[in-house]
Amino acid sequence: MRPWRHVSHSEPCRICSRPDWCTRSVDGAWTICRRVDNGTGLHRVDKSGGEFWLYRAVTQSSSLRSTPKLPSQPQSERAEPGVLDQAYRALMAALPLSSTHRLALRQRGLPDVEVLRRGYRTLPLQGRAALARGLVDRFGADVCARVPGLSVEAQGTRRWWTLAGAAGLLIPVRDIDGRIVALKVSADHLGEGPKYTYLSSTKHQGPSPGAQVHVPLHDGQTGDPLRLTEGELKADVATALSGLRTVSIPGVSAWRHAIPVLQALQPARVLLSFDADWRTNPHVAHALGQAAFALVKAGHVVLVEHWEPTRGKGIDDVLATGHTPVLQSVACAFGASLRGRARVWTGTLATIPAEEVPAWH
């Protein structure tokens, strides 16, 4: 069996260049990238439903001709969404929101009422065992063993429940029914680790949170337009600032996970809003193009939000500074012609007459 190890800042993924979430073989011959599909990898789906792509190093070595045995998957199955929601809500209720994190959320553009509504909390380094013990006492060990983030530590003959994750801002990840199905941490101190990480138990052979689509709390109706982006906090901020439901996919190449959400909500229009660097990052551009044309083919009216990089990296940055992105057709955004003449709209959604949207499908 070829040994595997997680990527890091010193040895990032050779496909997406990121220091987290992906895996590489110790001999450097294979890479598992969970973000980027550049067309040369083998597509796979793990037990939790998360997509990944297996890439082989460019070499003539005969040892690379066969597909390697993949890393072992978590031994415990993840609990059902309703159970996860109850457990995570109980955890969040036991945690505060620090003044530092509250200020940071305000600076992102979120008013206090939105901060309260969306349920952010502060995950400290200290007191993890007490937090975990409270959940075990309430829900039982069998249930908690299936909740990503909870695990049993051992030292000699001593064993105790604890909670994973870096110290930082705790962000609820919600499904289409508003249930908290995962938790993500925005780390206070980066060190050698990534900025954003899921609470997971995989290091202890427990359940993974999977590849979750985040659907922010929103008062809209089925059929309302929506936006697709990457990043849970970014989606929350964009939803609050624009009033447009902004759904977060778990990676730029993981847009397929949003299809069930689109099928359920049946949006009148779908706005694709990836970070501004998609024009210079071929991997992100490839994923955005795939998403755009697949959604058009599925019958959705798709527009691409465009802004100058000086306005901000993500859609949340742009909206927080009071700017409105330009809306482009897929044909215009990608320099292709689907049908008719490419159009660029420069207003808000409300200013676009329905009859002016091309019937690409």
Instruction: Say if residue 89 is in the same domain as residue 184.
Output: yes
Kindly report the three-state secondary structure assignment for every residue of 238-261.
HHHHHCCEEEEECCCCCHHHHHHH
- Summarised one tens digit per residue, pLDDT across range 314-336 is 999 999 999 999 998 877 776 54
Is 221 contained in some domain? no
Instruction: Say if residue 48 is in the same domain as residue 157.
Output: no
Instruction: Say if residue 294 is in the same domain as residue 255.
Output: yes
- Summarised one tens digit per residue, pLDDT across range 32-49 is 888 777 778 888 877 656
Q: Please give the Cα distance from 78 to 80 (Å, whole number).
A: 7
What pLDDT is recorded for position 138?
97
What pLDDT is recorded for position 161?
96
- Residue 342 pLDDT class (50, 70, 90 cuts): very low
Is 220 contained in some domain? no
Question: Of 147, 174, 204, which closes a domain?
Answer: 204
What average pLDDT does this structure show over 272-280?
86
What pLDDT is recorded for position 99?
97
Is 267 contained in some domain? yes
What average pLDDT does this structure show over 291-307?
89
Instruction: Say if residue 20 is in the same domain as residue 130.
Output: no
**CB neighbour burial string for 31-60, b if at least 16 within 10 angstroms, e if fewer:** bbbbbbbeeebeeeebebebbbbbbbeeee
Instruction: Say if residue 279 is in the same domain as residue 321.
Output: yes
Report which listed range, 63-67, 103-107, 298-302, 344-348, is most confident. Answer: 103-107
Is the pLDDT assigned to residue 313 strictly greater than 50?
Answer: yes
Q: What is the CA radius of gyration of the chain?
A: 21
Torsion of CA 211, 217, 222, 224, to 10 degrees: -100
- Summarised one tens digit per residue, pLDDT across range 172-207 is 999 999 999 999 999 998 766 678 889 999 888 889
Our count of domains for the chain comes to 3
Instruction: Identify the CATH number of the domain in which residue 251 sits.
Output: 3.40.1360.10
Instruction: Say if residue 156 is in the same domain as residue 250.
Output: no
What pLDDT is recorded for position 357?
37
What pLDDT is recorded for position 172?
98
- Residue 358 pLDDT class (50, 70, 90 cuts): very low
- Strand ranges (DSSP E) for 190-337? 196-198, 226-230, 245-249, 270-272, 302-306, 326-329
What is the CB-side half-sphere exposure of residue 275 using CA atoms within 13 A? 15
Is 301 contained in some domain? yes
Is 213 contained in some domain? no
Residue 245, strand partner residues: 226
Is the pLDDT assigned to residue 64 strictly greater than 60?
Answer: no
Instruction: Say if residue 112 is in the same domain as residue 172.
Output: yes
Q: Please give the Cα distance from 230 to 132 (Å, whole number).
A: 30
Is 73 contained in some domain? no
Q: Please give the Cα distance from 345 to 351 (Å, whole number).
A: 9
Instruction: Say if residue 49 is in the same domain as residue 123.
Output: no
Question: Of 143, 172, 204, which closes a domain?
Answer: 204
Instruction: Say if residue 163 is in the same domain as residue 268.
Output: no
Q: Please give the Cα distance from 17 to 240 (Å, whole number).
A: 31
What pLDDT is recorded for position 329?
83
What average pLDDT does this structure show over 150-175?
94
Helices (H) and strands (E) in the chain, counts: 10, 17
What percent of the chain is modeled with pLDDT above 90? Answer: 52
Computed over every residue of the chain, the mean pLDDT equals: 84
What pLDDT is recorded for position 335?
59
Is the pLDDT assigned to residue 355 strictly greater than 70?
Answer: no
Alpha carbon of 261 to those of 6, 59, 156, 225, 246: distances in Å?
Answer: 30, 41, 47, 12, 12
Is 292 contained in some domain? yes
What pLDDT is recorded for position 253?
79
**Which residues constitute the domain of residue 116?**
81-204
Query: Is 83 or 26 the better-scoring residue by pLDDT?
Result: 83
Instruction: Say if residue 192 is in the same domain as residue 90.
Output: yes
What pLDDT is recorded for position 154?
87
What percent of the chain is modeled with pLDDT above 70? Answer: 85
Is the pLDDT assigned to residue 359 strictly greater than 80?
Answer: no
What average pLDDT does this structure show over 202-214?
88
What pLDDT is recorded for position 283?
74
What pLDDT is recorded for position 182?
97
Instruction: Say if residue 233 is in the same domain as residue 333.
Output: yes
pTM of this structure: 0.80
- Residue 284 pLDDT class (50, 70, 90 cuts): confident
Q: Please give the Cα distance from 216 to 201 (Å, whole number).
A: 24
Is 71 contained in some domain? no
Instruction: Say if residue 86 is in the same domain as residue 195.
Output: yes
